[in-house]
Amino acid sequence: MEIINNSKEYDVIVVGSGAGGGMATKILSDAGLKIAVVEAGPYFDPANPDQMTQLKWPWESPRRGSGTTRAFGDFHMSYGDWEVDGEPYTVEKDTSFRWWRSRMLGGRTNHWGRISLRFGPKDFKSKDYDGLGENWPISYDDIKPYYDKLDKLIGVFGTKENIFNEPDGFFLPPPKPRLHELFYIKGARKSGVTVIPSRLSILTKRINNTRGVCFYCGQCDRSCSAYADFSSSSCYVIPSLKGGMVDLYTNSMVIEVKTDKNGRATGVSYINKDNGREYSIKGKVVVLAASACSSARILLNSKSKAHPNGLGNSSNLIGKYLHDTTGAGRTVFIPDLINRKTYNEDGVGGMHVYSPWWLDNKKLDFPRGYHIEIGRSFTMPEYGFGYNPNEFNKFFGLKVGGYGDKLRQDVKKYYGSTIGLSGRGEAIPRKDNYCEIDPNTKDKWGVPVLKFRYKWSDYELKQAKHMHDTFEELAYNMGGIALGNKPTKEQNYGISAPGEIIHEVGTTRMGDDPYKSVVNKYERLHDVDNVFVVDAGPFVSQADKNPTWTIMALSWRTSEYIIDQLKKQNI
Amino acid sequence: MDRRESIKNILLGSIGSSVLLESCVSLDKEVLDKIWEYQYGRTPEEKERDEKFLNSKFFNENELKTIEKIANIILPPNEIGNINDAGVVEMFEFIAKDWSTPAHNNYGDKVLRRSIIVFDELCTEKFGLKLLECSESQIKLLFDEISYEDKSLKDQKESVRLFATFRGMVVTGYFTSEIGIKDLGYKGNTPNVWDGIPNDVLEQYKGIVSYDKEWIDKCVDQSKRGEIAEWDEEGNLLT
């Protein structure tokens, strides 16, 4: 195929516009560098009325919001989910992996839970505590200044708690708990489980004059039209476009990093999805932020004489150590919450309280911790509401089923009477959990796709078992009933399939030793001095924390390093 | 003016004067309602899918009437409205097409249409009439038999399984409609300022759960939400 070359040379080409790419775009363009942002999906602005789903009612969708075209429902703001038309992936037999992709400006930051947790000092050096996995080549102190700057730039609510591995930051004040959250607090305290206000990047207070303040519709997963929650589109890329230093290429899927005969990067080539043709652009530096697995795919597909098994892959470790957060969940029925008086309890788009990891793994039979997220059912009905309209009758010795006005009364009686508990834990990264190029399968543009191989180990399974034990204790202490049976060993203790929690990390791990890692502590490929990876690929370990805040803190740090190196003419 | 009306005004305002708006709304209200009924942030591909299904037919008139009749018995009309006001039959029609794929196991045919066939057969067996020809009390006699699970059976009878799914669709359709949400009493999906659980509700739960002062003191002071945040070097909020 003929490649259409663009003669313009950028200082930096940023591949992907999500958390890591958006952060890099802002910092690099603010420094006066000429940037190309290459995004595989369309332009997206949460404030665009044609794209907006926020504040829509279920009846505004002919399928009442059901998940036919979007896995989490019609109103959820992600273009793409675990399936993307024309962009398949394969999974090795007897293993599983589900790969979520959001093809749009801002990527997955448009739909995420805004849970913005710093990794703690222990999280960077876990191997020192249990001998498993690998330590990061950096420590909390290296990244702390970037977390601090991030808190102030973007805004995150929370409270100072002085817990060693849950570092405090520059917090906005949290919202008051909702009713079901008081039940959770009560149950957690009785169970000896730590419970504190949650930490979400939602503006409970004004942070600058360009973004709005939260108006409590509880719909951050639809992306906020007032920019009161953090999305890379609204907070980084769209404002950066106004500075004149950024060219944005949308519907442009990068397939390869181009290199010269010495193996240094000269730019990227991409498919324009609107016409199916291949183009290339030139840049002095390439920053990959396409998401951990997409960046790995691009690198592995960038083969040349200098890099015969993929760019930056002399260690053969690209794609290896892939790991996702573990997950298990349980719903709890609270009889005290039947026949509730209704009022507007939407609150922010997520929990107002949560439990960080509270135990010492040295006394447990699994090595790493988890946090507990709290969900609710006193929400706006969408498709699926009322499918088990009076199942809880069984707890009162009443008949389940029926029809007529009695049924209607039962629906109202039980509305808002359940609480969802979700455990989110840290997995141990393993070399034999990985993604690689599948030589036999291509996407609709002819680009070889990824094949996954992923299995949980006993460490994760035992952790999931512990989650369910905890949920049952919490349920009892809340005065509730944990629904369903506790999943058995044969059911893998109810653990989520790898990829389902959508926190995949680790595919281009960071380290000092080029034989044991792909990028150095500034997220630069060991093999090439002008290619960086700023998504979650460089994560050495996951921590029991959501990855976004750490992706962005690292990307900010790397961007400053790139600016410094360009100034010194080292790259 | 409700939001749909104001969206119409935005549309018409962009193509003409308010005089045009008045005449358009009165002349073509039905057409405009159809156009604006389903504006909910679709991508071009999603819009195409919706339009295709909105412009095609799955159920025949008899089937639609049967769905309507059953739905009205599952959730009878009350002072707030009825199954038609809730658009339940339209939702059945749309979802039948939306889920008529192998991925959904041809839900339209295998579950929804199949339900109508099975309920008709049972009515014929019992009363010698199709469901539509039966009186409400006859239909209720049938529903009394198939609307509860038989705990002694491991696998429920087909009629019981189909009724449960059909009922689920009716209940979901009703309570996701404008009148259903009013009936339920859901009060959100509107800009507001959350400042904690209302006092009368806290009063009701006294002795079970309550706010503790230490926690609440750390929470947002909503009178200062508009003031730009500033911190000291220790991260203490100053504003």
Tens digit of each residue's pLDDT (9 = 90 or more) over A261-272: 999 999 999 999
Kindly state the average pLDDT of the residues B96-105: 92
Tens digit of each residue's pLDDT (9 = 90 or more) over A282-298: 999 999 999 999 999 99
Instruction: Tell me if A345 and B73 make a contact (CB, 8 A cut-off).
Output: no
Instruction: Tell me if B40 and A53 make a contact (CB, 8 A cut-off).
Output: yes
Tens digit of each residue's pLDDT (9 = 90 or more) over A319-367: 999 999 999 999 999 999 999 999 999 999 999 999 999 999 999 999 9
Return the exposure string of B112-144: e unless at least 16 CB atoms fall within 10 Å of the residue's CB, then b.
bbbbbebbbebbeeebeeebbebeeeebeebbe
> Please, where are the H alpha helices in B39-87?
44-54, 61-74
pLDDT at position B30? 54
Q: Which residues of chain B does A385 touch, with a Cβ-Cβ cutoff of 8 Å? A: 171-172, 175-176
Interface confidence, given as ipTM, is 0.95
pLDDT at position B6? 45
- In A273-429, at which residue ranges do the beta strands (DSSP E only) sit? 277-288, 326-333, 353-354, 370-376, 418-425
Rounded Cα distance, A135 and A149, in Å: 24
Give the model's confidence band at B11: pLDDT under 50 very low, under 70 low, under 90 confident, else very high: very low
The reply to whether B196 touches chain A by the CB within 8 Å rule is yes
Calculate the average pLDDT of chain A: 97
Residue pair B7/A57 in contact by the 8 Å Cβ criterion: no
Residue pair A253/A273 in contact by the 8 Å Cβ criterion: yes
Tens digit of each residue's pLDDT (9 = 90 or more) over A58-109: 999 999 999 999 999 999 999 999 999 999 999 999 999 999 999 999 999 9
Q: Which residues of chain B does A383 touch, with a Cβ-Cβ cutoff of 8 Å? A: 172, 176
The reply to whether B36 touches chain A by the CB within 8 Å rule is no
Residue pair B204/B215 in contact by the 8 Å Cβ criterion: no
Give how far B128 is from chain A: nearest CA, Å. 23
Tens digit of each residue's pLDDT (9 = 90 or more) over A508-558: 999 999 999 999 999 999 999 999 999 999 999 999 999 999 999 999 999
Return residues 123-152 of B near A (CB < 8 Å).
143, 147-149
Query: Residue A455 corresponds to which amino acid?
Result: K
Which of A152, A403, A405 to substitute to test the interface with B, most B CBs within 10 Å?
A403
Tens digit of each residue's pLDDT (9 = 90 or more) over B163-182: 999 999 999 999 999 999 99
Q: Which residues of chain A does B218 touch, with a Cβ-Cβ cutoff of 8 Å? A: 159, 173-174, 197
pLDDT at position B38? 83
Q: Copy the structure tokens of residue A54.
A: 């926020």
Kindly state the average pLDDT of the residues A493-520: 98
Rounded Cα distance, A550 and A116, in Å: 9
Q: For residue A192, how many other CB atoms are within 10 A of its CB?
A: 10
Give how far A439 is from chain B: nearest CA, Å. 27
State the pTM of this model. Answer: 0.94
Q: Copy the structure tokens of residue A182.
A: 């008081």
Nearest to A55 among B184, B189, B231 (CB): B189
Residue B35 has pLDDT above 70, yes or no: no
Nearest to A381 among B49, B181, B193 (CB): B181
Tens digit of each residue's pLDDT (9 = 90 or more) over A5-50: 888 899 999 999 999 999 999 999 999 999 999 999 999 999 999 9
Residue A153 has pLDDT above 90, yes or no: yes
Question: Distances from the Cα of B101 to the Cαs of A70, A213, A225, A536, in angstroms?
Answer: 16, 43, 34, 36
Largest CA distance in chain A: 77
Instruction: Tell me if B205 and A75 make a contact (CB, 8 A cut-off).
Output: no
Instruction: Tell me if B99 and A68 make a contact (CB, 8 A cut-off).
Output: yes
Rounded Cα distance, B55 and A536, in Å: 44
In chain B, the percentage of residues whose pLDDT exceeds 70 is 85
Q: Which residues of chain A does B40 touch, with a Cβ-Cβ cutoff of 8 Å? A: 53, 56, 60-61, 74-75
Q: Which residues of chain A does B172 touch, with a Cβ-Cβ cutoff of 8 Å? A: 64, 381, 383-387
Instruction: Tell me if A342 and B185 make a contact (CB, 8 A cut-off).
Output: yes
Phi, psi at A329, each rounded to 5°: -145, 160
Give the model's confidence band at B29: pLDDT under 50 very low, under 70 low, under 90 confident, else very high: low
Instruction: Tell me if B184 and A381 make a contact (CB, 8 A cut-off).
Output: yes
pLDDT at position A1? 54
Q: Which residues of chain B does A411 touch, with a Cβ-Cβ cutoff of 8 Å? A: 171, 175, 184
The reply to whether B183 touches chain A by the CB within 8 Å rule is yes
A&B contacts, CB < 8 Å:
244
Rounded Cα distance, A124 and A554, in Å: 13
Nearest to B220 among A61, A204, A399 (CB): A204
pLDDT at position B23? 38
Instruction: Tell me if B147 and A344 make a contact (CB, 8 A cut-off).
Output: no
Q: Which residues of chain B does A56 touch, with a Cβ-Cβ cutoff of 8 Å? A: 40-41
pLDDT at position B21? 38
Residue B115 has pLDDT above 50, yes or no: yes
User: Which residues have a Cβ under 8 Å from the Cβ of A394 and sit 6 or more positions away?
Assistant: A400
Instruction: Tell me if B78 and A408 make a contact (CB, 8 A cut-off).
Output: yes
Return residues 64-83 of B near A (CB < 8 Å).
73-76, 78
pLDDT at position B34? 53
Q: Which residues of chain A does B75 touch, with a Cβ-Cβ cutoff of 8 Å? A: 403-404, 407-408
Kindly state the average pLDDT of the residues A186-208: 98
Q: What is the 3-state secondary structure (H, E, C) of A8-65?
A: EEEEEEEECCCHHHHHHHHHHHHCCCCEEEECCCCCCCCCCCCCCCCCCCHHHCCCCC
pLDDT at position A9? 95
Of the listed ranges A187-191, A532-536, A549-553, B146-150, the least confidently predicted one is B146-150
Instruction: Tell me if A381 and B90 make a contact (CB, 8 A cut-off).
Output: no
pLDDT at position A7? 81
Nearest to B220 among A42, A174, A386 (CB): A174
Return the exposure string of A96-127: e unless at least 16 CB atoms fall within 10 Å of the residue's CB, then b.
bbbbbbbbbbbbbbbbbbbbbbbbbebbbbbe
pLDDT at position A6? 82
Rounded Cα distance, B47 and A47, in Å: 19
The reply to whether B16 touches chain A by the CB within 8 Å rule is no
Q: Which residues of chain A does B237 touch, with a Cβ-Cβ cutoff of 8 Å? A: 171-173
pLDDT at position B33? 57
